Amino acid sequence: MPSHAARLLELIRSRRARPGIVGLGYVGLPLAVEFARAGYTTTGIDLDAAKIKAISEGRSYIDDVPASDVAALRAQGTLTATTNFDVVRELDTVNICVPTPLRKTKDPDLSFIVGATEAIAERLRPGMLVILESTTYPGTTDELVLPILERRGLRAGKDFFLAFSPERVDPGNRTFNTRNIPKVVGGLTQNCTMLAQALYEAATASVVPVSSPRVAEMVKLLENTFRAVNIGMVNELALMCDRLGVDVWEVIDAAATKPFGFMPFYPGPGLGGHCIPVDPFYLSWKARESGFEARFIELAGAVNSAMPHYVVSLIADALNSVRLPLNGSRVLVAGVSYKRDVDDIRESPAMDLLGLLRARGAEVAYSDPHVPTLSGRHWQDGIDLEHVDLNDALPGTYDCIVIVTDHSRFDYDRLQLAAKVVVDTRNAISAPGPNVTRIGSPRPTPAEAALSVA
C-alpha cells in the first residue's frame, strides 16, 4: 500500500482525519452531521452565507436535521462551517455535494461540479481523498473531475485518491436517512475504493463497494430512472383510465395485492425533486453522446413532462361543469413542494401548474404550510405569492382548488368546502364529494357538480 494511502487509512480509523463537505444542502448537511457525530472534526463549505450563519449559531435549515443535533455538535467543536475554500488545505477528505441541474435544453449543467473541483484542485495536497457525490452521468469522475485535480502534477491513486459515491437521500423519509441507507462506493483504483469505504463505514451503517466510479454513477441513474419510467407508465395508464371511465387508483390497489411480480407506482401531476425528474435526462444525454438512443427513457420523460398540461385540462373541465371559465377563475394550488411534508420546491410540478394557469388567465394563489413564501422567480412569468391558510377560507372562497401535494397538515374536509370544484391529483381525499375530480378516475357529471355548488 502506498505511504499516502496507509497514512490516510490510519487517520480515518483513528478518527483523526478531518473531513470537509462542499455544498451544505439536503445532501451535504446531513452527511456533515453524520461525520461529526462519528467523532470527526468536520468542516462544511458553502458560498451561501446564510447557511454558514445558521450552522455557526447551532440552527438547522433542513427538516431532516434536528437543530438540537447541529447545536450539540457545534458545542462539541466537531462541526464548523465556512464560505472560505482555503480551509481545504487543512482537510484530509473532501466530499463534493453540489447541485447538478439541467439546462433548459435538458443538457447536464456541471458548472457547480467544475467550480467546486477547481477550488479544491488549487488547494489539493498529497494524501487527500476526494469523493464526488453529486448525481451525474457515467464518466464524470474520470472524464471531468480527474483531469482538473491532476492539473498541478499530482496523480490519482498515488498522490491523492478519488472516488464516486452517489447521494441517495430521500427528504422527509422518517425510516431511511443518511446513516442507514447503504453507501455505494466506486474508486478510481482499489486503494481509492478502500479509503472511501473506510471513511463511510465510520459514519454509515453499510457500504457497498463497486468496481469503478462509472458503475457507481450508473447505479444512481438506474435507481431514479427505474422510478421515472414506472411513474411514466402509470401516468399513461391514468390517462387511459380517464378515457375508459375506470378508476386507476382502484386498479393499482387491486394489482398491489399480488405478492410477487408487481410493485405499485402512482400517478400524479408530474415529477418533482432533485433527482427523479433530472437523472433520466443525464442518462439519455450520455447515451446520445455514445450514439445510443434511449427511446424508452425519453418516452417516459415526455409522458411525465406533459402531466401538468393534463391537470390544467382537468381544472378547465371541472370549472366548465359548474359553468365557469378558467380565464378569470380563482384557482388555489394546494401544496407547492415536490413531495408530502417537506419544504423542497425543486422541480415541483406545482411551478409548471402555476405558470400554465396564470397564462390561461386564472387568478392564482397557493397554500403550503411548509413554504410560507414563493418567489416569482421560481415559476415562469411568476409573481411573488404568500401561503394562504385554508383554515381561514370561507365556503366557496375559490372557484377551484387543485391538490398537487398531499400534505398531512391539510384538512381535506375543509378544503372541499372552500372551493366550488376540487381537482385531486394525489388521491388525497379519502371520501371525495361530488365536486371532486381525480386523475385517472370517472369524472363527476355536470349535474353532480352543479348540485354540490348549490
- C-alpha dihedral over 379, 313, 417, 382, to 10 degrees? 10
* Cα–Cα distance, 354 to 357 (Å, whole number): 5
Q: Give DSSP secondary structure letters for 247-281.
A: -HHHHHHHHTT-SSS-------S---SSSTTTHHH
Beginning with the edge strand found earlier in the chain, give each strand of the sheet holding 436-438 in spatial order. 363-367, 330-334, 398-403, 419-424, 436-438
Q: Quick check: 408 and 207 in contact, CB under 8 A?
A: no
Give me 215's grid cell: 458503475
List strand residue ranges (DSSP E) for 270-414, in order. Answer: 330-334, 363-367, 373-374, 385-386, 398-403
For residue 365, the SS3 value is strand
- Choose the catalytic residue: 97, 192, 241, 275: 275
Other C-beta atoms lying within 10 Å of the C-beta of residue 225: 24
Q: Quick check: 310 and 239 in contact, CB under 8 A?
A: yes
Dihedrals phi, psi of 87, to nearest 5 degrees:
-65, -20
* Cα–Cα distance, 46 to 318 (Å, whole number): 46
| 400 catalytic per annotation | no
Q: Quick check: 146 and 188 in contact, CB under 8 A?
A: yes
Other C-beta atoms lying within 10 Å of the C-beta of residue 114: 14
* Cα–Cα distance, 405 to 401 (Å, whole number): 12
| Cβ neighbours of residue 199 closer than 8 Å, sequence gap 6 or more | 12, 17, 19, 93, 129, 131
* Cα–Cα distance, 437 to 402 (Å, whole number): 9
The single residue listed with the C-alpha cell 473506510 is 198
Half-sphere CA count of 269, side-chain side, radius 13 A: 36
Q: Provide the annotated active-site residues.
A: 275
